Amino acid sequence: MEVSLCKADVSEAALIHEMQVRAFMPLLEKYQDFETSPANESVERVSARISQPLSDYYIIKYGEAAVGGVRVVQKENHLHWVSPVFILPEYQGHGIAQSVFAILEQIYPDARLWGLATILQEERNCYLYEKLGYVRTGEPKAINDKLTIVVYEKHLQG
């Protein structure tokens, strides 16, 4: 099935919020990171992110089904930051995330540096980003005794 990205607007904040909660709830339950987990964000917060300048929110489609979301924030010096990116649990492991990142690189050809943060303890996520050419940078940041956040970057040629 084909993966596609549909740019979201504020009218879709509730749908994105519902998928975000479903996707991140297993991690919230596992790591108890109530302050930082996207599963704990309000629909108003999602709506505000959609409305931010230099921020594009997309609904990830797998065939006709909405299966997740991804937000890209354009920062200075051609840096594009991905936060959050999520796929509903029942659609994980189908190569959807890999396709999403390839599509993003096509949508933003001016990007020279991509960045994102993820959970160090989620080895599948770290493996995915490393497979896509991302390299871990900076110091890991402990959120609590169960969860550490790490930053990844991918440099592209100009």
- The two tokens of residue 9 are 């607007």
Q: What is the pLDDT of residues 66-97, one digit of tens each?
A: 999 999 999 998 999 999 999 999 999 999 99
What is the rounded CA–CA span in Å between residue 39 and residue 153?
24
Quick one: CATH architecture of 3-155? 3-Layer(aba) Sandwich (3.40)
Tell me the pLDDT tens digit for each residue of 137-149.
999 999 999 999 9
Sheet holding 65-74, edge to edge: 3-7, 55-62, 65-74, 79-87, 113-119, 148-155, 135-142
